[in-house]
Amino acid sequence: MKKDKSLKLQFGFTLIELLVIISLVGIIMMATVGLLLSILRGSRKSDALNTLKQNGNHVLEVMSSRIRNAKSMTCGGTTLTIINQDGRQTIYSCANGAISSNSANLVSTGASNCLFSCTVGGRGVPPNTSFQFTLTSSDTTIEGASSIFKATVSLRNY
């Protein structure tokens, strides 16, 4: 009996087949790692922006409440002085990347472009102040993590 060589079954893979599979797996893994790194970077930026928004909104609420309930105010550039109902003076200032109130920082990092402007009220029109500032993330590895905050507040008791 003659053995038919064409019917002989081959077990295993050739070297070329193994190299092709290893190359494809490597390419897929590199793409997956790149995608995961991109997702993590986006998540970190989102977390940084959320923290900035919370800090900025806190500053806006504190300052707006105190200005609204003040007896009088004066401002110029990077400082705002208000006289409270009890006659005490509170000075808000923007310097060295911080927004502070009587030497206590409302936000201690990344504040810039801070500006106060006041409008004197007329008869029946309350005086108001507008303030604006930009907060930037202190994490230098996150690009573009900054937010602009602005508000206009009128005095209630004028």
Give the Cα separation of 124 and 115 in Å (integer): 26
80 Cβ partners below 8 Å, 6+ apart?
67, 73, 74, 91, 92, 93, 116, 118, 129, 131
17 token code pair: 């087949």
Per-residue model confidence (pLDDT) at position 146: 81
Scanning the structure block, which residue is given the tokens 């690009």? 143
Q: Which residue, among 115, 158, 155, 152, has the nearest Cα to 134 in the 3D structure?
A: 115
Secondary element (H or E) of residue 145? none
Number of neighbouring beta carbons within 10 Å of residue 119: 14
Q: What is the pLDDT along the chain (158 residues), one digit of tens a residue?
A: 555 555 566 678 888 999 999 999 999 999 999 999 999 988 888 888 888 888 889 888 988 998 899 888 888 888 888 888 888 999 988 887 788 888 688 876 677 778 788 877 667 778 888 888 888 877 766 776 788 888 888 888 76
Q: What are the domain boundaries of the chain? A: 17-154
